[in-house]
Amino acid sequence: MSEPLLTVENLNVLYGDYQVLWDVSMQARAGEIVAVLGPNGSGKSTVLKAIMGLAPAKSGRIMFEGRDITRVPTHEMVALGISMVLERRRLFSAMTVRENVLLGAYHRSAGKEAKSRLEWVEDLFPILAERRDQIAGRMSGGEQQMVAIARSLMSKPRLLLMDEPYLGLSPRIVKQIAGIIQRINQDGVAVIFNEQNVQLSFGLSNHGYLLEGGRVVLSGTGQEMIGSDVIRRVYLGV
């Protein structure tokens, strides 16, 4: 099997005196979709934020493509090949769709590369090309999520972190976003996302982790996770 793209080893994260993650270890291989499931407050977002350098690692190690990135500042993460779609999108609501998307390419030369990337991204989301001059803040939640994903893809990441990508979206849009995640993945981008719904988490993921109280209590393939006793009993009520 190929070397892992990302390895999180015994990660401990504290906010002040309050410990949120306890000895969390995870892996993602190139081209995989990895889901992190857990109840509210279990630390799912914090795992993604810690990888991105947005939450302080007290101890433990995060390796990406063989390099220790535990203390790499967030603004350098994008250049290394990791990008994140924040929960609730965080768009510049007064700017247009196109302006928001192009912001994701800020560290790349504005020339040819950004242009071909924009073509790829607008091919993934044709609606963003159609609406490129619309003010982002006036779009629906699903459309804003597409803008946020498109923006994070502009930096050509090899790993995309998605914080609750389905939050607050209708079933129809959820299906559409799930299709887009698969498509991004088929184009060679590994994806780690977190979610509270079992089917949405593990239905399309190669690997999954269950977090409870800041600890990984279960891991396995997507199918193993869906079939596991704990998940069936606690999350599916069977």
Ligand X SMILES: Nc1ncnc2c1ncn2[C@@H]1O[C@H](COP(=O)(O)OP(=O)(O)OP(=O)(O)O)[C@@H](O)[C@H]1O
**What's the rounded Cα separation, in Å, for the pair 201 and 206?**
10
Q: Kindly tell me which of 143 and 163 has the beta carbon lying closer to ligand X.
A: 163
**What's the rounded Cα separation, in Å, for the pair 221 and 72?**
30
Task: Give me the least distance between CB of 35 and ligand X, in Å please.
Answer: 13
**What's the rounded Cα separation, in Å, for the pair 100 and 86?**
14
- Provide the binding-site residues for ligand X, judged by CB under 6 A: 15, 18, 20, 38, 40-46
Task: Give me the least distance between CB of 195 and ligand X, in Å please.
Answer: 9
Q: Kindly tell me which of 125 and 193 has the beta carbon lying closer to ligand X.
A: 193
**What's the rounded Cα separation, in Å, for the pair 121 and 131?**
13
First to last CA, the chain: 34
Q: Kindly tell me which of 51 and 105 has the beta carbon lying closer to ligand X.
A: 51
Task: Give me the least distance between CB of 36 and ligand X, in Å please.
Answer: 8
Q: Kindly tell me which of 45 and 100 has the beta carbon lying closer to ligand X.
A: 45
Task: Give me the least distance between CB of 106 and ligand X, in Å please.
Answer: 25
Radius of gyration of the chain (CA): 17
Q: Kindly tell me which of 40 and 186 has the beta carbon lying closer to ligand X.
A: 40
Q: What is the DSSP letter of 39?
A: -
Task: Give me the least distance between CB of 88 and ligand X, in Å please.
Answer: 10
For residue 61, what is the enclosing H or E element?
strand 57-64
Rounded to 10°, the helix 112-124/171-186 angle is 140
For residue 216, what is the enclosing H or E element?
strand 215-221
